[in-house]
Structure 1
Amino acid sequence: MRVLVVTAVAAEADSVAAGLARYAASGVRELTGGYEIAGHAQYTPRPGSVQIPVVDVLAGGVGPVAAAVATATALASSPYDPPYHLVISAGIGGGFQPHAPVGSLVVADSIVAADLGAQSPEGYVPVEELGFGRGTHQPAAGLSARLAEVLDADPRIRAVLAPVLTVSTVTGTAARTAELTGRHPRAAAEAMEGFGVAEAAAAHSVPCAEIRAVSNAVGPRDRDSWQIGRALDALRYAFTLLTPVFEEPS
């Protein structure tokens, strides 16, 4: 299986790469637009040690638009060399309580553009009701369940299979939290890139997943309470646990 992992920032990409320690770094490839992909390969056990690409990691920028552009650029740059079998949007994010406490992992069973729509006197109108496309991507159920199963099997972490919301503005008030949970009662996390990554992956007919390590509770903004280091450690460990999945037949 060949996998493209897209994060927002370098710290997240570094954590993902650290979790892939059983693979050998296979170099950094520059793409149009100034993007850099860090490759991680395994070697065949026969003489000659042939590299087999497994996981490429790309820090694509913050927000759904930057993430979509970076993902599309990466997918278009090497569509058959060999093709990617899976794209993963990965990074840290906020967790909706009590579903996803700080330090836990959330695997998306749906990737929702939570602020792609319109305001009205009656409330929020999602983009589907406006007739302008889609606001939700559904990862393959078997794939998301498999990722969550592998992660949750480890007693040292908690993994949740639930919707992940994509927002362009991070939630920072109780009122906004109540609005989002009212519209999406099963949502376990919010972040800023998943829907953009999923849109690009869908355009290239590549399955997509999203994994978030929770650094803070969604709610009134309290930057001092965020545990970014703990979340990055959880993200690293998640990709260590998922390594065997990447080696399964695609």
Structure 2
Amino acid sequence: MHIWVTAPTAMEMKPLISWLESGSQQTGQQKYRFRGHDIVIKVTGVGAVATVFHLTRELEKDKPDWILQIGLAGSYHAELVPGSVVVVERERLADLGAEDRDRFVDIFSLGLESPDVFPFEQGWLVNPYLKKFRNLPIPAVQGITVQTVSGSAATIARRAALYQPQIETMEGAAFHYVCLHMQVPFMQLRAISNYVEPRDKSKWKITEALASLHQTLQQWLLAWPEELQML
């Protein structure tokens, strides 16, 4: 199979590259032959705009059999502690809309877009390919994507009430949007680096989250679930 692994930043990708360099054949710049499969590494940039641009540009040149986005995320739920790893089942563009005084109104409520016109399902960007994976060892969650990370009590409370998210990222919905339009099987894998709360970097666990993320990813790639072969 021809597999792409993408991440917003080189930092989030570095442990995978080191692992592949030590245990597979390098066939090109950030291209590896691993257990009979071709893996291509792509860093797509931070935020929705960079993700859409870089990913669409690459997919117009070539389409993989399967594409994975990895990275860090903030958690809205106490049980998703820093270091936890999740797979994202559905995504929402949580700050695309308008402010009406103290109220946020999204593009669907504004009548600018239909919540049930492809690729949306009731306003969500749902990954249909996860149904093929019967025994994923990690929780499937719903995420919101924002371009300004939540860092005040008022913003956090508003977004939590509107969408009941479990995690927050800056790229997930953009990744789902492009993959759905381009009809490429995909999966978004995230590790929790912090809780979504008023900003306090002293509580963040980036090193631990990256270690958990790549341990899970490596175990999964070594196992190569049968479901992946059927996508």
Same fold (TM over 0.5): yes
Tell me if 1:219 matches 2:209. no
1:90 aligns with 2:70: yes
Counterpart position of 1:156: none
Unaligned runs of 5+ in 1: 29-37, 45-51, 153-158
- With normalisation by structure 1, the TM-score equals 0.78
Instruction: State the shift of 1:67 in Å.
Output: 0.7
Pick one of 165, 179, 185 that aligns with 1:207: 185
1:72 paired residue number: 56
What corresponds to 1:242 in structure 2? 220
Q: Contact between 2:89 and 2:142, CA under 8 Å: does it hold in 1?
A: yes
Q: How big is each residue's C-alpha offset from its partner over 1:125-167, in whole Å with a ceiling of 9 and x where there is no partner?
A: 2222333335531001x526738x43x3xxxxxx321101111
| Structure 1 position 124 matched with structure 2 position 101 | no
Paired residue for 1:168? 147
Q: Does 1:42 align with 2:46?
A: no
The partner residue of 1:62 within 14, 35, 46 is 46
Cα offsets for 1:10-62 (capped at 9, x unmatched): 0111133346565433321xxxxxxxxx2222355xxxxxxx42x22211111
2:156 and 2:132 map into 1 onto residues whose CA distance is 27
Equivalent-residue separation in structure 2 for 1:166 and 1:19 (angstroms): 29
Q: 1:9 to 1:122 in 2, by over 3 A?
A: closer
Q: Percent identity?
A: 25
Is 1:139 the equivalent of 2:127?
yes
Partner of 2:116: none
What TM-score, normalized by structure 2, do the two folds share?
Answer: 0.84
Q: 2:87 aligns with which of 88, 104, 107?
A: 107
Instruction: Kindly indicate whether residue 211 of structure 2 is the aligned counterpart of residue 233 of structure 1.
Output: yes
Aligned length: 219
Task: Quote the Cα distance in structure 2 between the aligned partners of 1:236 and 1:100.
Answer: 17
AA aligned to 1:40 is Y
Change (3 A) 1:122 1:171: closer
Residue type of the partner of 2:96? L
Gaps of 5+ in 2: 114-119
Distance verdict in 2 for CA 1:88–1:127, change over 3 Å: farther
Q: Measure the CA separation in 2 of the matches of 1:64 and 1:19.
A: 28
RMSD: 2.3
CA distance in 2, matches of 1:211, 1:56: 16
For residue 123 of structure 1, report the CA deviation from its aligned partner: 2.4
- Name the SS of the counterpart of 2:83 in structure 1: coil
Q: 1:177 deviation in Å?
A: 1.5
Q: What do the CA deviations read for 1:63-118 (whole angstroms, capped 9, x no partner)?
A: 00001111112211223xxxx12222210111112141100012111011111122
